A and B are shown apart, each in its own frame.
Chain A
Amino acid sequence: KAGVTQTPRYLIKTRGQQVTLSCSPISGHRSVSWYQQTPGQGLQFLFEYFSETQRNKGNFPGRFSGRQFSNSRSEMNVSTLELGDSALYLCASSFGLPPYEQYFGPGTRLTVT
């Protein structure tokens, strides 16, 4: 089975712009979760989608949003980028049922200048 794929792998944006990241889960997985990883805050949960519905949300401002399509692919969007949004954004997929074992993609490295 193909693993989780994320596109693009690297991205450079300037402050104030917006960005869309894409994630394709493992075939058969219905849940996609997004995480932000920074040196200062570590790995933090952004949100989780299951069958096109946001099921869980982390403590991030409304500039961070996401969606999931009927084929389980997911996108996350960050509007009005800030320097502090520079991070590795990781997507993880799972069946969405206990015990919620998650499989991660390689990540998208976002740099905001």
Chain B
Amino acid sequence: SQQGEEDPQALSIQEGENATMNCSYKTSINNLQWYRQNSGRGLVHLILIRSNEREKHSGRLRVTLDTSKKSSSLLITASRAADTASYFCATSPIQGAQKLVFGQGTRLTINP
């Protein structure tokens, strides 16, 4: 079973627009990570935010974390066709910390 849920399940936008994906989780966490997966291949680590952080940036990515609401969001600015992929949030629970618990993912399509 999965800890989190992602919203929306699918998102289609025009190139150059911003894309926002949300993730909710159920238990207390050490940190939350976002991964990208292209067409059933391996996952690529994007960004990690610790439980005591509220916002983090990496290039065109901005992640926020609200531990009181048990939710996170990933914003991709100025989207490109190459951003087309599935995006997953993964939490590292405080108990069993090395085990990542993934959300269902958001399928992002960038239209040229």
Contact = CB atoms under 8 A, between A and B. Distances in A.
A48 interface: yes
B60 interface: no
A90 B102 contact: no
A98 B102 contact: no
A98 B40 contact: no
B104 A42 contact: yes
Size category of the binding interface on chain B: 20 to 34
A90 B102 CA distance: 13
A102 interface: yes
B41 interface: yes
Contacts of B33: 101-102
Given A35-B100, A43-B90, A104-B43, 18 more contacts: A42-B2, A42-B102, A42-B103, A42-B104, A50-B98, A56-B96, A58-B99, A59-B1, A94-B98, A98-B30, A99-B48, A100-B31, A101-B48, A105-B42, A106-B41, A106-B42, A107-B41, A107-B42
A4 B26 CA distance: 30
Interface of A: 4, 31, 33, 35, 37, 42-45, 48, 50, 55-56, 58-59, 88, 90, 92, 94, 96, 98-107, 109
A59 B99 CA distance: 12
